[in-house]
Amino acid sequence: MQQTRIAGGLSAFFEPRVVAVIGANREPRKIGSEILHNLLLTDFTGTVVPVHPTAPEISGLKAYRKAYGCR
């Protein structure tokens, strides 16, 4: 019973509906671009949101200047 409650409370962490990639980047081999690229290649069914201070889009996705307000 206790494990079910704990697991249920962590579902947002283990099964997110939205993932923001802070520091998403257009340049290959940068950590932000690798994370974004790998998320897009998986079977993740949620929304992927790149966050970059100046880019209007990255990998065909609208990029946001800040993480908040990116829903």
pTM: 0.75
Q: What is the CATH number of the domain that holds 61?
A: 3.40.50.720
DSSP states along 17-62: SEEEEET--SSTTSHHHHHHHHHHHS---SEEEEE-SS-SEETTEE
Q: Which domain holds residue 34?
A: 17-71
> Band of the pLDDT at 57, cuts 50, 70, 90?
very high
Quote the pLDDT of residue 48: 95
The C-alpha angle with vertex 48 and arms to 66 and 7, in degrees rounded to 5, equals 105
Within a domain: 32 = yes
Within a domain: 25 = yes
Within a domain: 12 = no
Quote the pLDDT of residue 14: 85
Kindly tell me if the per-residue pLDDT of 18 is higher than 80. Answer: yes
Quote the pLDDT of residue 13: 85
Quote the pLDDT of residue 53: 93
Mind listing the pLDDT tens digit for each residue in 22-47?
999 999 899 999 999 999 999 889 99
